[in-house]
A and B are shown apart, each in its own frame.
Chain A
Amino acid sequence: MIGYVVRRLLQFIPILIGLVTVLFALLNILPGDPARMMAGPFANPDVVETIRQEMGFDRPLLVQYLDNLWNLARGEFGRSYQSRRPILKDMLEVFPKTFQLALAAEITSAFIGIWLGVIAATRRNGWADRLIMAVAALNLSFPLFWLALMLQIVFAVFLRMLPPSGYGAGFDRFIILPAFTLALPSLGLLARITRAALLEVMGEDYIRTARAKGLKATLITRRHILPNALIPIVTTIGTDFVRLLGGIPIIEVIFSWPGIGKYAYDALVFRDLPALQASVIILAVSVSLVNLVVDLLYAFINPRIRYV
Chain B
Amino acid sequence: MKSTQRVMRLAFLLALVAALLLACVAPAATTDSAPADDAMAAESAESEGPKMGGVVTGFVSSDPKNFDPAAIAGWDQGVIAPNLLEGLFRLSPDGREIEPAVAESFEVSDDGKTWTFNLRTGAKFHNGRDITADDFKYSFERVLNPETRSPKAWMLSIVVGAQEFQDGSADEVSGIRVVDAQTLEIELAEPLAPFKSMLASINLAVVPQEEVEKWGEDFGQNVVSAGPFTLGEWNLNQDVTLNAFEDYWNGRPYLDAVMFRFIGDENTRIVELDAGRLDMAWVPPAHWDRFSTDPVYKEKLGWAETFHTDFIAVNLDNEPFGTNPKLRQAVRYALDLDAIIASLQGRATVAQGLLPPGLLGFDEGMILNYPTNLDSAKALMAEAGFADGVPGTFDVILPPWGNLIKMLEIYQANLKEIGINIEIKPTEFGPYMEALETGSYDLAWMYRVTDYADPDGFYFPLMHSDNLGAGGNYARYANADVDANIAAARATVDDAERTTLYQAVDAQFAADLPYIPLTHNIYVDVSTPRVQNYVPSPMDTHMFHRVWVEE
Contact = CB atoms under 8 A, between A and B. Distances in A.
A165 B268 contact: yes
Nearest to B66: A83
Interface residues on A, range: 35 or more
Given A44-B472, A47-B154, A152-B271, A166 B277 contact: yes
B74 interface: yes
Interface stretch (A9-17, A107-115, A237-245, A253-261): A253-261
Contacts of A300: none
B264 A256 contact: yes
B61 to A, nearest CB: 10
A33 B430 contact: yes
A195 interface: no
A154 B271 contact: no
B65 A158 contact: no
Interface in B242-295: 261-265, 267-268, 271-272, 274-277
B153 A47 contact: yes
A150 to B, nearest CB: 6
A149 B268 CA distance: 8
Contact of B237 (A46, A150, A160, A258): A258
B511 interface: no
Interface string B431-456: 10100010000000000100000000
B271 A150 contact: no
Interface string B454-493: 0000000100000000111000000000000000000000
Contact of A158 (B26, B428, B431): B26
Interface string A34-74: 00101111111111001101110000000000000000000
Contacts of B66: 82-85
A163 B277 contact: yes
A54 B146 contact: yes
A42 B263 CA distance: 26
B29 interface: yes
Given A43-B151, A80-B65, A262-B264, A127 B9 contact: yes
Contacts, number: 150
Interface residues of B, number: 54
Nearest to B236: A93
A39 B265 CA distance: 26
Given A85-B218, A158-B26, A44 B264 contact: no
A149 B271 contact: yes
B106 interface: no
Given A32-B429, A32-B430, A256-B261, A40 B268 contact: no
Contacts of A84: 66, 68, 71, 217-218, 220
Nearest to A162: B275
Given A31-B431, A156-B274, A158-B27, 20 more contacts: A31-B428, A32-B428, A32-B430, A42-B448, A42-B472, A53-B146, A54-B146, A82-B66, A83-B221, A84-B217, A85-B66, A93-B237, A127-B9, A153-B26, A157-B27, A160-B276, A164-B275, A258-B236, A258-B262, A262-B264
27 contacts: A31-B430, A32-B430, A38-B149, A39-B73, A40-B74, A42-B448, A42-B472, A44-B471, A47-B153, A50-B149, A79-B217, A82-B66, A83-B66, A84-B68, A85-B217, A85-B218, A149-B267, A156-B272, A156-B274, A157-B27, A158-B26, A165-B268, A166-B261, A254-B268, A256-B264, A256-B268, A258-B262
Interface of A: 30-33, 36, 38-47, 50-51, 53-55, 79-80, 82-86, 90, 93-94, 127, 149-150, 152-154, 156-158, 160, 163-167, 253-256, 258-259, 262-263, 266
